[in-house]
Amino acid sequence: MELDQLGEIIRRHGARSREQMQVAERLRELLPDALLASKRALAPEYRGAAAERRALSDQSYLEKIEEFVLLWGEAWEARIQFETHRMLMQAKQSLQAYHRARLQSRS
């Protein structure tokens, strides 16, 4: 893999990671509102802690949590790919510099 290709992969994974982290963070910020909405929907039937317990297991709330977790996981996967490819690029650059220095010392 050429350094140009590696650079493009690094940029792509870095951008994807940033974008997905931002979306996941926004979803995380909205989770308390979703829980409150679930509690309000259950208010006619349940009160207090019972409403809270039911809201925590409400299907729509669980779907929002699932969406958040999936996005967060994808964001971290992209971040790990970014870091891994960045380290590979640094290793290749270091190896190239080593070979250049070795060739110069032979001259």
Please give the structure tokens belonging to residue 98. Answer: 């080593």
Q: Are 39 and 52 in contact (CB under 8 A)?
A: yes
Burial class of residue 79 in the structure, from the number of CB atoms within 10 Å of its CB (0-12 exposed, 13-18 middle, 19+ buried): middle
Q: What is the pLDDT along the chain (107 residues), one digit of tens a residue?
A: 799 999 999 999 999 999 999 999 999 999 999 999 999 998 889 888 999 999 999 999 999 999 999 999 999 999 999 999 999 999 999 999 999 999 998 87
Cβ neighbours of residue 78 under 8 Å, at least 6 residues apart?
A: 13, 14, 16, 17, 20
Task: With residue 56 as reference, give the H or E element that holds it.
Answer: helix 48-56
What is the token pair recorded at 11? 């940029």
* Whether this model's pTM surpasses 0.85: no
Between the alpha carbon of residue 22 and those of residues 7, 73, 75, 84, 90, the distances in Å are 23, 13, 9, 21, 27
Domain range list for the chain = 3-106
